[in-house]
Amino acid sequence: MENNNAVSALAALAQENRLAVFRLLVRNAPEGLTPGVIGEQLELPAPTLSFHLKTLAQAGLVTAIQEGRFVRYRAEMAGINALIDFLTEDCCCGHPQLCIPKGKQE
């Protein structure tokens, strides 16, 4: 993962509302949800939510597909995995003994 992409993904998640949106989509993976439902659940006005969804999409953390009159947003697992891997390697580089995330403990 490029440095730039990592910064984008980190910034996308570094915001309360966007983090909540992303988590909601993960809990509703793989089907995804429409902005209408997300906005209702999280009590976000439509323009605000649209702005945040766009930010998450640009960061590669969600994808959108049109379904008739609705749009279905889905959490992009490849995106979050890439971010986790970036942080893991970043954190461990050169000093693996200092940084053994749960997942790496045999």
Partner DNA sequence: TCCATATTTCCAATAATATGGAAATATTGT
Partner DNA sequence: ACAATATTTCCATATTATTGGAAATATGGA
Residue 65 binding target from DNA, a second copy, none, CB below 5 to 8 Å by type: none
- Site map 37..56 versus a second copy, x via CB under 8 A: --------------------
Measure the CA–CA gap between 84 and 70, rounded to whole angstroms.
31
Residue 99 binding target from DNA, a second copy, none, CB below 5 to 8 Å by type: a second copy
Q: Which window, 22-30, 34-42, 44-52, 64-72, contacts a second copy (CB under 8 A)?
A: 22-30
69 binds a second copy (CB under 8 A): no
Which residues here bind DNA, judged by CB under 7 A? 11, 14-18, 34-36, 39, 44-55, 64, 66, 68-71
Decide: 24 and 33 in contact? Cβ < 8 Å: yes
Please, what is the minimum distance in Å from the beta carbon of residue 78 to a second copy? Answer: 9
Decide: 1 and 85 in contact? Cβ < 8 Å: yes
Residue 60, CA atoms < 13 Å, CB-side half-sphere = 16
Contacts of 57 by beta carbon, 8 Å cutoff, 6+ apart: 63, 64, 73
Q: What are phi and psi of 12, to 5 degrees?
A: -65, -40
Please, what is the minimum distance in Å from the beta carbon of residue 72 to DNA? Answer: 7
